[in-house]
Amino acid sequence: MNLDELNKVAVAMTANGKGILAADESTGTIKKRFDAIATENTEDNRRDYRELMFRTAEAMKNHISGVILYDETIWQTAKDGTPLVDLIKKAGAIPGIKVDEGTKPLPNCPGELITIGLDKLADRLAKYYDQGARFAKWRAVIDIGAGIPSHAAIHANAHALARYAALCQAAQIVPIVEPEVLMDGDHDIDRCAAVTEWVLKETFQELYYNKVALEGIVLKPNMAISGKKSSKKASAQEVAEKTVKMLKNCVPGAVPGIAFLSGGQSDEEATAHLDAMNKIGGLPWHLTFSYGRALQAAPQKAWGGKEANVAAAQAAFNHRAKMNSLAALGQWKTDLEKKAA
């Protein structure tokens, strides 16, 4: 393992004002997105849609540091025959790959899940490295509900994340460590912060036991946020303050950067929350974004599966990338959204 090289990649992934585009939706997930815009879920349409983003020159060059790809996408070529990986590299961004294989119910833990995909991961990582991937992603899913999460579920998922991270570093690939506490319930922000703190502490303990070098990872956590069904919605300032406090309690300063997931927040919420955190400042790590929906919902809608709409979709992608880039610098303002509209 060359830690200097891993660290260089991790630092570049969370560089000032740049963030990660999560374009790693599984075929099933992108079907839901395409259904919403009345577009057929074919391999060509999936390729065309992702190609239009990777060819959005301004966003890719100025605001996007890396792109998380799905297995299908990393092997695909653009319409003109250029490998999609090469389009990403040409724009100055780093190609990455989602390597987990989804979730399964965790035995003896009703309502809880474990992420699978560790078997043969070492072999897959070697192939992805040869194809140009320099970072990977593995998502653990922790739900909040009556009597959950259990320690068994948190421990099992933290252990799997650490094993994945160790395998990545051995393959000279930077692991994105993503323990996601879901915002689906009716819990308030304090419950989310407490559970996330528990999950992060367990995760860093397992990373330590598995000898993972923290200088060569990127953390992708959820923010401290009220559940979607909660009657008490926290303000952007409260989200920022409680998330920063939670991170300070759990994340060693050796970690080069933290790239948040948007986790079902609206486009503007995800941007406002990130901006408010960066306005607090004085943190040991760069705080940026690793957004899927919060970067893609607007371009998807503008595109609608039609070639005639590619320019409009690229303009929408440019705008969201720029807004999040400003938020990663603590320089975003609400009226910038209104100007664009």
Can you read off the two tokens belonging to residue 330? 């603590």
Nearest residue to 223 via CA among 178, 192, 188, 186 = 192
Between helix 43-54 and helix 293-303 the angle, nearest 10°, is: 110
Whether 220 is a known active-site residue: answer yes
Q: How far is CA 102 from CA 114, 137, 139, 183, in A?
A: 8, 12, 8, 18
Helix/strand/coil for 41: coil
**The residue type at 103:** T
The catalytic position among 18, 98, 137, 220 is 220
Q: Which burial class, exposed, middle or buried, applies to 90 when counting CB atoms under 10 A from its CB (0-12, 13-18, 19+)?
A: middle
3-state helix, strand, coil in the chain (%, to 5): 50, 15, 35
Which residue in 250, 256, 169, 247 sits closest to 215, CA to CA? 256
What are the structure tokens assigned to 152, written together?
């068994």
Choose the catalytic residue: 25, 51, 178, 202. 178
Q: How many CB atoms lie within 10 A of CB 241?
A: 16
**What is the maximum span of the chain, computed from C-alpha positions, in angstroms?**
53
DSSP 3-state assignment of 78? coil
Q: Is 202 labeled as catalytic in the residue annotation?
A: no
**Cα separation, 305 vs 52, whole angstroms:** 11
Residues serving a catalytic function are 178, 220
